[in-house]
């Protein structure tokens, strides 16, 4: 299986529900070392979600807010979901290849839980009307 690399920028996160419906969420993609290192640090809020790739752990040092963290495997299936308060260090997940971050409580609203499959489309949210699998 070819390794997928995303570029820094915008996109859409589609959470595939059990009934096949998709919840679409604006996504910020952090694919470079610099963007992953910065992540959500110094922000007071986040609009939508942020994808850190490649990544298998995160921390919330110097963060101003609690966040939801979803660990994704290489097929974009959620392997773990945690809510982290500021000043915490998350344990690395061995199967995780990507990490999603969002405001605390957001992932529950979107239906993100262990076993959920997500889809990611690069490009501005307005231009990504049809969500396709990478």
Spatial contact of 124 and 17, defined as CB atoms under 8 Å apart: no
Spatial contact of 14 and 22, defined as CB atoms under 8 Å apart: yes
Summarised one tens digit per residue, pLDDT across range 73-96 is: 999 999 999 999 999 999 999 999
Summarised one tens digit per residue, pLDDT across range 39-63 is: 877 777 788 999 999 999 999 988 8
Asked which of 15-24, 34-43, 78-87, 123-132 is least confident by mean pLDDT, the reply is 123-132
Provide CB contacts within 8 A for 41, sequence distance 6+.
Answer: 62, 63
Q: What is the reported pTM?
A: 0.86
- Strand order of the sheet with strand 9-16? 78-84, 67-72, 98-103, 49-52, 22-30, 9-16, 117-122
pLDDT value of residue 7:
86
pLDDT value of residue 37:
82
């Amino acid at each position: 299986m070819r390794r997928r690399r995303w570029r820094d920028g915008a996109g859409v996160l589609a959470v595939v529900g059990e009934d096949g419906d998709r919840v679409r969420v604006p996504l910020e993609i952090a694919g470079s070392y610099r963007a992953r290192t910065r992540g959500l640090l110094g922000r007071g809020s986040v609009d939508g979600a942020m994808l850190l790739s490649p990544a298998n752990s995160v921390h919330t040092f110097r963060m101003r807010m609690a966040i939801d963290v979803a660990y994704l495997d290489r097929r974009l299936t959620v392997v773990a979901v945690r809510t982290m308060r500021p000043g915490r260090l998350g344990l690395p997940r061995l199967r995780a290849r990507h990490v999603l971050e969002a405001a605390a409580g957001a992932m529950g609203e979107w239906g993100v839980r262990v076993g959920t499959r997500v889809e990611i489309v690069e490009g501005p949210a307005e231009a990504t009307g049809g969500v396709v699998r990478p």
